[in-house]
């Protein structure tokens, strides 16, 4: 998924 759609935080 592109950057902003990928949520890397919990």
Partner 1 sequence: MNVFRFLGDLSHLVAIVILLLKIWKTRSCSGISGRSQILFAIVFTTRYLDLFSNFISVYNTSMKIVYITCSYATVYLIYGKFKATYDFNHDTFRIEFLLVPSAILAFLVNHDFSPLEILWTFSIYLESVAILPQLFLVSKTGEAETITSHYLFALGSYRLLYLLNWLWRYFSQGFYDLIALLSGILQTVLYCDFFYLYISKVLKGKKLSLPA
> Alpha-carbon distance 5 to 8, whole Å?
9
Q: Considering the complex, what minimum distance in angstroms separates the CB of residue 5 from partner 1?
A: 5
Smallest distance, partner 1 to C-beta of residue 8, A: 5
Residue 3 phi/psi, 5-degree rounding, is -40, -65
Binding mask 1-10 for partner 1 (x = CB under 8 A): x--xxxxxxx
Query: How far apart are CB 3 and partner 1 at their closest, in Å?
Result: 9
Residues that bind partner 1 (CB under 8 A): 1, 4-10
């Amino acid at each position: 998924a592109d950057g902003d759609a990928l949520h890397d935080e919990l």
